[in-house]
Amino acid sequence: MPVIIPIFIANLAFAILTQSDIILVKYIFTPHEAGIYSSAAIIGRTVMYLPGAIVISLFPMVASNKARDEGTLHLILKALAMTIALSGTGTLALYLFPDFIVSLFFGNRFSSAAYIIGLFAIAMLPMAFLMIIMHYNMAKGGKYFAYIMLLGSVMQVVGIVYFHDSLITVLKVMLISGSLCVTILFAFLTLEYY
């Protein structure tokens, strides 16, 4: 199988996991509720993008070590630890101080979104880990991870379509699907080394 296929599938799955909620919420909920959700997404998604610099440096280091038949476990562990530090701190701040952060960056325009920003940040935390694990696997030339992510993305879309009694429920579906993907991929990663 050409290496491009798993990369395409993984990126498609990641886009679905991290963006389909906005489309579905806009379709399912009232314009007012969709606006609140979109406002929360602007702030809540920052948690997912905080480790972006880690991804940029992780990919070439893993690919280089793989090409030289050197170990890569230490690289993924460091990347995950840095993600915990960065995204975990961001999540904690958004969970503990949503009103302050919203007013600091946006004034009163987005104040109605403060009640879901904490949960939004928590739902994005697995996506931050998923981004790290995805790029690690792409750099190693892995294939299975893409199909696990695709399954997770389908599960999330189906979950939101069937379970959408509130915006909080949508975020819980995202948290569950993201957490399951990360757990399964981390289990495969662990089996690979032990």
Tell me: the pLDDT tens digits for 69-96? 999 999 999 999 999 999 999 999 999 9
Cβ atoms 157, 22 nearer than 8 A: no
> What pLDDT was estimated at residue 1?
57
* Amino acid in position 164: H
Tell me: the pLDDT tens digits for 112-138? 899 999 999 999 999 999 999 999 999
DSSP state of 83: H
Measured distance CA(182)–CA(97) in Å, rounded: 27
Measured distance CA(86)–CA(19) in Å, rounded: 21
Question: Is residue 192 very low, low, confident or very high in pLDDT (cuts 50, 70, 90)?
Answer: confident
Tokens of 31: 């314009």
> What pLDDT was estimated at residue 194?
66
- Taking 80 as the threshold, does the pLDDT of residue 18 lie above it? yes
Measured distance CA(114)–CA(127) in Å, rounded: 21
